[in-house]
Amino acid sequence: MSSAHLHRLEKDRMRYSLEHRTQAISQLASNITNVTGAEGSAPANLDTTALLLSSILLGMTSTWHDVSMLDLVHLKGARTLFQKWMFNAHRQSVGPSLYDPKSSFLLGVMAYWEALASFHVDQNLEAVDYLWDMCNRGTNSEACCPNPLTGVSTSLFISMAQVGTLSRQLRLVDRLCSLAGPDKYKGEMYLSLLDKAKEVEKFVRDYAVLAADEISATGDDLTPSSHLHTMGLVYQLSILLELYRLFPELLRSSDDQINYSPNPSETKHFLDTLATNILTLLVSIPPTSRTKAIQVLPLIIAGSALQGQTQPSSSTSLLPLCIRDPIQGIMSLSSNSLITNYWRRVVMDKITSLRDYVGLDSVDHARRIVEGVWMRADSMSSRSAGACSMVSWLDVMREEKLQTFFG
């Protein structure tokens, strides 16, 4: 990993990092075979914890060597190792396991990788449920505590992984129905995805991010507990924003007192508001904070939602509208191109800062994805007088071959 990062700008020396990686993979594969083939607990001479962490880190950092090398083969091995590690760690316990810092740490790291990988691998909706089986989803502070490595609660990363899985499944449904039809099959498959989306939405909306004073001191003056609290809010809103973009039906209300279904303009306003709230939270974190490495995915999600008008509206044209219809005028402000362009500049500034700090090509891929979304959205808006459908950043990523791990 160190070699890959040091030589990332010296392509002629990248072979050294690849040699180290090849040796590590060879040794890891040999040890994993011994561990997974053993009955009961792992052999005493093998450190299963080290194997698990090695497998996770090798997988997550595969794009350090080649930005498009999604080495997802490690994901399956890490899942097997993780479940075996958890079984061996708690096989003698009776009843619910007590809070175990080591187990909680590994659970959080595994959830982080599942979240990164979920936008790139086709899998069933229950693929990450094994993490819920081992995660205490209660309201106590231990369950909501940020992971020491990722800085965000494990529960939120599991939810993000579910959203990534839903996005892939939704694409598969669209492709299958475009090839086979008829529409009724699409409806049945879509409804099953929508039900899962409702389940994820309910959990994330009910989730309570720990207050800064409830989070243990980090011991890092550059990254106090308040930054972790803010990043928890950022991920909570990012999950909801991506869910609502994928399934606008979630914004409908149909209880006994209110039956409300937002029109496309109102939906866009809601997504704009969520996006700017996320960006406001990110801007509130100083550029020296060490939470930078986990800001890339929220920046893509929030930045790509800024799909406003392309023609600037003068302040004089807005003023009569605000006087004539205050509610409509205020709601239209977030879609005004001047405001949209301001937040777009904020996104580009943040991504540029991240690229300089992290020094990985994956951040540049994030920039190209967001800019690609804006270009397509602006082109559609210039050709249509009404509300346009949202451009998906996932479509841009796939079509422009910009797949990578954004972490």
Could you tell me if 110 and 69 lie in one domain? no
Please tell me whether residue 396 adopts helix, strand or coil conformation. helix
CA dist 229 and 137 (Å) reads 18
Residue 178: exposed, middle, or buried by beta-carbon count in 10 A (0-12, 13-18, 19+)?
A: exposed
Is the bond preceding residue 182 a cis peptide, omega within 30 degrees? yes
Tens of pLDDT along 92-148?
554 445 557 788 888 999 999 999 999 999 999 999 999 987 776 444 566 678 888
pLDDT at 314: 41
Residue 219 amino acid letter: G
Could you tell me if 108 and 245 lie in one domain? yes
Secondary structure of 92-149 in the HEC alphabet? CCCCCCCCCHHHHHHHHHHHHHHHHHCCCCCCCCCCCHHHHHHCCCCCCHHHHCECCC
pLDDT at 45: 40
Residue 26: exposed, middle, or buried by beta-carbon count in 10 A (0-12, 13-18, 19+)?
A: exposed
Is 270 part of any domain? no
pLDDT at 349: 96
- Judge contact between 368 and 400, C-beta under 8 A: yes
Residues contacting 93, CB < 8 A, separation 6+:
none
Distance of CA 398 to the CA centre of its chain: 16
Residues contacting 359, CB < 8 A, separation 6+:
5, 8, 9
Secondary structure of 65-102 in the HEC alphabet? HCCCCCCCHHHHHHHHHHHHHHHHHHCCCCCCCCCCHH
Please tell me whether residue 168 adopts helix, strand or coil conformation. helix
Could you tell me if 44 and 158 lie in one domain? no
Could you tell me if 222 and 350 lie in one domain? no
* DSSP 3-state percent helix, strand, coil across the chain (nearest 5): 70, 0, 30
Could you tell me if 74 and 201 lie in one domain? no
Could you tell me if 231 and 107 lie in one domain? yes
Could you tell me if 236 and 332 lie in one domain? no
| Nearest Cα to Cα of residue 299 among 224, 365, 388, 379 | 365
Q: How many domains does the chain have?
A: 3
Could you tell me if 59 and 121 lie in one domain? no
Could you tell me if 23 and 160 lie in one domain? no
pLDDT at 1: 55
pLDDT at 163: 98
pLDDT at 86: 79
pLDDT at 196: 96
**Which residue ranges in the chain fall short of pLDDT 50?**
42-46, 94-96, 137-139, 256, 310-331
The angle at the Cα of 242, spanning 177 to 149, to the nearest 5 degrees, equals 125
Domain hosting 347: range is: 291-309+328-406
Is 263 part of any domain? no
Tens of pLDDT along 158-206?
999 999 999 999 998 888 777 666 565 567 788 899 999 999 999 999 9
Tens of pLDDT along 55-70?
888 888 777 767 777 7
pLDDT at 319: 38
Structure tokens at 384: 């249509």
Could you tell me if 297 and 357 lie in one domain? yes
DSSP 386: S
